[in-house]
């Protein structure tokens, strides 16, 4: 009895300690984000998301009632978030500026990358902190040097948790994380039909003759690891490096995943155009992956780290099965 009680007390103490580590006295919430402590009066009630990934994540966490504005829309918002999205004012379809953001008097800003917090965009983090506005940057943008084996999905989970805490949507966040973990677990149990490594090229876009592909620290990179395939450019330490057709041919991918950016509408964004480029480009047109049409198509925007990235994982798994590389 004595031993049980003390163990119980210890657990309570431990739980209490972790709670207090993140929640301080005056009803505020603090999380660490890319080198700065972000503190808001809990829960945040005037959240502004500065880009589409952040917007969809926040909506997916059920945060719409707490959002004061969204910005920077690249494609149609995913249908499941459409209604929630329409209930939040769209501040601007283009890039957010300091004035636009301040007009709605936010208490928390969410962005996928740090460059949003510069003088030319919405203002520096220090500046905004002094105004009492928290500036959150997705953990995917600043992977911790001391925890290198956290992949993009792990970092996304961290985002979900942090944002859940900041917006008082902890329960929703846990659900999203659980769904993501389920998909990851299902994918990692995949049985591949080949012993030698299956090589995958993740092609996002071709801009002015340069193909942009997924490197190591990216969602496709994480998906490749989970599914047990090899990302042909996984050795490149950039999220979206620009490479060359020769380099692609050199690495001989078995499968090519194509990002569908047809909503963006720039030349070469649709999947058809990308296939046409591959079949005509002399460097790569002879590859088996091209001649045998080993293509998997996913929405380009879901290749970026966001709440929708888990869809890419699922689509990829389906694609592997369809092409016969997995069962």
Report the interface residues with other proteins, using CB under 8 A: 91-92, 94-95, 97-100, 102-103, 105, 113-115, 117-121, 123-124, 127, 131-132, 141, 238, 240-242
Residue 85 CB, shortest distance to other proteins, in Å, is 18
Nearer to other proteins, 242 or 283 (CB): 242
Residue 181 CB, shortest distance to other proteins, in Å, is 28
Residue 130 CB, shortest distance to other proteins, in Å, is 9
Residue 142 CB, shortest distance to other proteins, in Å, is 11
Residues 6 or more apart whose CB falls under 8 angstroms from that of 315 comprise 296, 298, 302
Q: CA of 135: how far to CAs of 30, 46, 54, 126, in Å?
A: 11, 12, 12, 9
Structure tokens at 122: 């919405």
Residue 48 CB, shortest distance to other proteins, in Å, is 12
Nearer to other proteins, 114 or 253 (CB): 114
Nearer to other proteins, 1 or 145 (CB): 145
Residue 242 CB, shortest distance to other proteins, in Å, is 6
Nearer to other proteins, 64 or 128 (CB): 128
Nearer to other proteins, 180 or 205 (CB): 205
On the question of a cis peptide bond just before residue 214, with omega within 30 degrees of 0, the verdict is no
Is-contact 145 172, C-beta < 8 A?
no
Tokens 């480009």: give the residue: 281
Structure tokens at 37: 């402590």
Nearer to other proteins, 143 or 241 (CB): 241
* End-to-end Cα spacing for the chain: 51
Residue 188 CB, shortest distance to other proteins, in Å, is 30
Residues 6 or more apart whose CB falls under 8 angstroms from that of 127 comprise none
Nearer to other proteins, 98 or 247 (CB): 98
Residue 41 CB, shortest distance to other proteins, in Å, is 14
Residue 233 CB, shortest distance to other proteins, in Å, is 13
Nearer to other proteins, 92 or 285 (CB): 92
CA distance 47 to 66: 6
CA distance 78 to 47: 20
Structure tokens at 20: 């207090």
Q: CA of 151: how far to CAs of 42, 157, 303, 318, in Å?
A: 29, 10, 14, 21
Nearer to other proteins, 103 or 186 (CB): 103
């Amino acid at each position: 009895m004595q031993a049980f009680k003390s163990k119980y007390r210890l657990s309570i103490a431990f739980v209490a300690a972790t709670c207090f580590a993140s929640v301080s006295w005056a009803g505020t919430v603090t999380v660490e984000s890319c080198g700065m402590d972000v503190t808001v009066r809990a829960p945040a009630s005037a959240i502004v998301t500065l880009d589409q990934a952040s917007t969809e994540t926040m909506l997916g966490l059920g945060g719409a009632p707490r959002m004061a504005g969204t910005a920077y829309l690249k494609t149609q918002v995913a249908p499941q978030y459409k209604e929630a999205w329409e209930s939040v004012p769209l501040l601007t379809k283009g890039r957010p500026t300091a004035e636009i953001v301040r007009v709605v008097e936010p208490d928390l800003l969410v962005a996928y990358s740090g460059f949003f917090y510069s003088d030319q965009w919405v203002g520096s983090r220090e500046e905004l902190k002094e105004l009492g506005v928290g500036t959150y940057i997705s953990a995917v943008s600043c992977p911790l040097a001391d925890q290198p084996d956290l992949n993009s999905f792990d970092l996304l989970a961290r985002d979900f948790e942090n944002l859940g805490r900041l917006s008082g949507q902890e329960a929703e966040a846990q659900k999203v994380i659980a769904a993501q973990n389920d998909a990851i677990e299902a994918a990692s149990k995949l049985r591949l039909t080949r012993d030698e490594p299956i090589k995958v090229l993740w092609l996002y876009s071709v801009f002015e003759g340069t193909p942009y592909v997924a490197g190591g620290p990216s969602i496709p990179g994480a998906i490749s690891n989970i599914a047990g395939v090899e990302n042909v450019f996984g050795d490149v330490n950039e999220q979206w490096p620009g490479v060359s057709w020769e380099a692609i041919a050199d690495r001989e991918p078995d499968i090519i995943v194509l990002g569908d950016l047809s909503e963006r509408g720039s030349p070469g964004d649709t999947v058809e155009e990308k296939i046409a480029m591959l079949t005509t480009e002399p460097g790569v047109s002879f590859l088996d992956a091209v001649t045998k049409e080993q293509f998997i198509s996913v929405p380009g925007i879901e290749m970026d780290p966001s709440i929708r990235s888990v869809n890419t994982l699922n689509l990829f798994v389906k694609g592997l099965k369809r092409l016969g590389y997995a069962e």
